[in-house]
Amino acid sequence: MTSILTNTSAMVALQTLRTINGNLEDTQSQISTGKKVGSAADNASVFAISKVMESDVSGFNAISESLSLGESTVGVALAGAEQITDILTQIKEKVVSATGENVDNAKITADVTELKSQITSVIGAAQFNGANLLNTAGGSITVLSSLDRDAAGAVTASNITVASVDFETGLDLTTVDVSTPAAADTSLAAIETLIQTSIDGASALGSSLNRIEKQGEFVNRLTDSIKAGIGALVDADLEAASARLQALQVQQQLGTQALSIANQQPQNVLSLFR
């Protein structure tokens, strides 16, 4: 039945054209933004997941900075501990020399005194951003290492604690005396103890530094994996979007033509009265 009051063909064509235009708008938005889920209206569940993951990425970026700071702090302390071990080895040579006869113990004592002062200087200078792991006042440092999210969504922070080796107390340099051959002979055991203490301290710092470095590598890889996961959820497939855009543009042209034809149908009624 043909009616000049209700044009059902035009209504169908118009509805089809509106659907095509809506799809075309969505596809153009994907191409311009690069995202298939740009807001909660696009896909509420995916949008919520992606935002939680993005917040985790921001947290891990802060953790990476914390680990870098901790790595630098421990690295400076380790360099100082290794330097102190080398200086103590030099002192040992002086102690061994002082045990012999016909040596100038006064000059050896002066050399040892300078080396002791150098150790004290290294201990005081081995600080980074105000943190010193070689002296008594430095204490331990706590490095934020991870954010752990459980199945319920609760987040807890994990830390790496690096204790001070406290060479200021642990290295009693007064036990080394080379003023006489007898005193030097007695100091041999003392210098061995001091060297072992410095080696143990350097080893402890080295282990902590290695742990922080490994954790930093893990956090960087984890961050990259999360970013890749976010991309898989919200990024648009530009190849598919481009092909869909061309198809929709053709559909839009056809839909417009169909609407035009449908709108002409009432005009055909006039031919019945001629």
pLDDT tens for residues 159-199? 999 999 999 899 999 999 999 999 999 999 999 999 999 99
pLDDT tens for residues 206-221? 999 999 999 999 999 9
Q: Does residue 1 register a pLDDT over 80?
A: no
Q: Does residue 31 register a pLDDT over 70?
A: yes
Task: Tell me if 161 sits within 8 A of 73, measured CB to CB.
Answer: no
Block residue for tokens 């001091």: 194
- Look up residue 255 and give its two tokens: 């839909």
Task: Tell me if 98 sits within 8 A of 181, measured CB to CB.
Answer: yes
90-116 burial string, b = 16+ CB within 10 Å, else e?
Answer: ebbebbeebbeeeeebeebbebbeebb
Burial class for 133, CB neighbours closer than 10 Å (0-12, 13-18, 19+): buried
pLDDT at 229: 92
CA distance 108 to 117: 14
pTM of the model: 0.77
At position 270, the amino acid (one-letter code) is: L
pLDDT tens for residues 48-61? 888 888 888 999 99
pLDDT band of residue 123 (cuts 50, 70, 90) is: very high
Average pLDDT of span 117-141: 90
Average pLDDT of span 96-117: 92
Give residues with Cβ within 8 angstroms of 140, minimum separation 6.
Answer: 133, 161, 162, 163, 164
* DSSP per residue, 93-140: HHHHHHTSSS--HHHHHHHHHHHHHHHHHHHHH-EETTEESSSTTT--
Tell me the sheet residues that pair with 148.
156
Tell me the sheet residues that pair with 35.
235
CA distance 265 to 49: 51
What's the start-to-end Cα distance of the chain, in Å? Answer: 19
